[in-house]
Structure 1
Amino acid sequence: MAGAAAQGATAYVTLEPCAHHGATPPCCEALAKAGIARVVAPIADSDPRVDGQGFGYLRQHGVEVTTGVGAEQALSDHAGFFLRIAQGRPWVTLKLAMTVDGRIATATGESQWITGPEARRAVHALRASHDAVMVGAGTARADDPQLTVRGFGDRRQPVRVVVSRLIDVPLMSQLAQSARDVPLWLCHGPEARSELKTAWEGVGARLLPCQISGGRIDPLAMLRALGSEGLTRVFCEGGGQLAASLLLHDLVDELQVFTAGMALGAEGYPGIGALGVARLDEAPRFDLVDVVGAGADIRHVWRRRQSA
């Protein structure tokens, strides 16, 4: 797009320019052909099709290459990309909006709204920073959510992912009604009825068959299926059973916890389902990254412990 202005210019990129043919030709070739004189990049691309080859091509064609600038920030920004390359699955952020006693709904199921408008706006911003927003079938039935980014103007919407072994989500839901406008993927098990699969495909949803383990969808296999579709960051908004399944299998990379100053008591719905923890050293552990206010609520950010 720069045309002649690219001659002798410096290009600042957030990752090593690619060196392989995919949906587009190699970026390193395009940069050299454009007459770029210098490329500044923080880190190499760990994809084996690149991994130093992009830098090598640029140097061979007379382009000066500077690396290491902003490397720590780039590693954080690209964490999902690198995780998908290394483990075949996307980065998982688990969001919990709870009372001070860890409840997400009253005993009757009322949950809107536990947190205030500032916290809800922060959640929409988090949705926008991920490739997909994911919920379990129980949350899809109880809340009838849209799972879209709202309040930030006209923008790309993340994929909506519903994890439902039997695809037991109402076909009259907001998700179904908007499936042709905003991508909707259903992760299901082999027992899902063929007529339900046909009906959901008919409204525009995409079906992703997943393996079953212990009577539930295997969370690692499900995430790898999402990774194979190119997703690098998934924002999970519950409910409790899906959250517990991800935590039990050590698949939560980051926690975004919004805590409201109210209590609902033991009869309320817990934010996380049963984990079967008998001893403290069996519990999933995270390191605190940040604590900030979100209106009348508190937002905690936690990351997976490196030792884990």
Structure 2
Amino acid sequence: MAHALRLARRGLGNVWPNPAVGCVLVRDGRVVGRGWTQPGGRPHAERMALDAAGADAAGATAYVTLEPCAHHGRTPPCAEGLVGAGIARVVTALTDPDPRVAGRGHAMLRAAGIPLTEGVLADQAAELQAGFLLRITARRPFVTLKLASSLDGRIAMASGESRWITGPQARAHVHALRAQHDAILVGGGTARADRPHLNVRGIATPQQPVRIVLSAQALPPMPPQDADHGPLWRVEGPPDRVLADLAGRGLTRVFCEGGGRLAASLMTAGLVDQVVGYTAGLVLGAEARPFLGATGWAALADAPRFRLVESRAIGGDLFHRWRRI
């Protein structure tokens, strides 16, 4: 299952609105097939693994990070495919909350007499699938807030100068994280001041993320959609309604790189699920721009808490990742 989860991660950012799933087929102690959801959401992980295994799938155990689908869409149900291939046992991490599945895939396997084990590495799978799960259960995508700041929590000089606070290795790492998200979100002020490309550079990716600008005003000229730039969407309204609209359009994972005001709006609305920070070894002073705008919190109890997931040096900067408690 751990191997299946690593495979599933390869689909992050390029399979929406589908979940990024991994599947490993094991027979007689040997991996005979493996697969993960392909760009655009098809083929599914199970189909990829079954095709790779061929006749060796018969009698194998299938390890799947999410309950196999049970509905007919553009392709037949994966649960049906596992049964037809002669899979002897299925191990899953999570039940799919999608109403079209929601236990039906597991039931199809049991009805065929296939032994089923559920809940293996469920916590790790839920963290990986957080975007898909939130879209189904909370009608919004998973939100990652990215902050690149000085030691004293500043993101730019008072003039707006910010290139570059962090070093080249940290900036390259940001592009790797962008590639794992369906969309990149900024505010209108950032779009007008910086004219950002909001794309993935220096890393091969099956598709570029959607570029989203939250602004009630018209946008400045920005690069058109092409091989190097994803679709450009202008949205407006309060963050909760905007995120609900984005979920309705299929997005599961959004990477926010907006300014301090947008960051504060998302934080105060309780819509930030993860914070990734890059802290550089310089100080800018009180007159520089803070990474978070005014929140109105009057007491420590009002402030959201996050748990540290990882922390390490990247070049000369410190990378740290936090998940909301």
> Which TM-score applies when normalising by structure 2?
0.79
* Residues 211-250 of structure 1 aligned to structure 2 (within 5 Å): 217-250=237-270
- Is 1:66 the counterpart of 2:114? The answer is no
Shift of 1:32: 1.4
Amino acid across the alignment from 2:168: P
Which blocks of at least 5 consecutive residues in structure 1 are unaligned? 190-216
1:170 aligned residue:
220
2:35 aligned residue:
none
Q: 1:259 aligns with which of 266, 273, 279?
A: 279
Question: Is the CA contact (8 Å cut-off) linking 2:68 and 2:106 kept in structure 1?
Answer: yes
CA root-mean-square deviation: 1.8
Q: 2:83 aligns with which of 32, 47, 56?
A: 32
- CA distance in 2 between counterparts of 1:258 and 1:92 reads 17
Amino acid across the alignment from 1:43: L
Question: Is the CA contact (8 Å cut-off) linking 2:199 and 2:230 kept in structure 1?
Answer: no
* Residues 152-301 of structure 1 aligned to structure 2 (within 5 Å): 152-167=203-218, 169-171=219-221, 173-174=222-223, 177-178=224-225, 182-189=229-236, 217-301=237-321
Shift of 1:139: 1.3
1:203-249 CA-partner distances (Å, limit 9, x unpaired): xxxxxxxxxxxxxx210110011111221111111111111110010
Which sits farther off after the overlay, 269-278 or 22-31? 22-31
1:273-305 CA-partner distances (Å, limit 9, x unpaired): 111222222223222222211111111211112
2:187 aligned residue:
136
2:165 aligned residue:
114
Which sits farther off after the overlay, 250-259 or 138-147? 138-147
Amino acid across the alignment from 2:286: A
1:17-53 CA-partner distances (Å, limit 9, x unpaired): 0112334332111221222222221121122322221
User: Which structure's relative contact order is higher, taking Cα pairs within 8 Å and 6+ residues apart?
Assistant: 1
Amino acid across the alignment from 1:52: G
- CA distance in 2 between counterparts of 1:159 and 1:6 reads 37
2:199 aligned residue:
148
1:32-90 CA-partner distances (Å, limit 9, x unpaired): 12222222211211223222211110121132322222222111111111111111001
* Residues 78-93 of structure 1 aligned to structure 2 (within 5 Å): 78-93=129-144
Question: Is the CA contact (8 Å cut-off) linking 1:290 and 1:300 kept in structure 2?
Answer: yes
Shift of 1:92: 0.5
Shift of 1:13: 1.4
- CA distance in 2 between counterparts of 1:129 and 1:22 reads 25
Shift of 1:264: 1.3
The alignment-based identity, stated in percent, is: 57
Amino acid across the alignment from 1:40: V
> How many residues get paired?
274
Question: Is the CA contact (8 Å cut-off) linking 2:208 and 2:228 kept in structure 1?
Answer: no
> Which TM-score applies when normalising by structure 1?
0.83
2:24 aligned residue:
none
Shift of 1:154: 4.6
- CA distance in 1 between counterparts of 2:246 and 2:317 reads 32
- CA distance in 2 between counterparts of 1:245 and 1:163 reads 11
- CA distance in 2 between counterparts of 1:295 and 1:188 reads 36
2:29 aligned residue:
none
1:213 aligned residue:
none
1:211 aligned residue:
none
1:104-134 CA-partner distances (Å, limit 9, x unpaired): 1112211111001121122111111111111
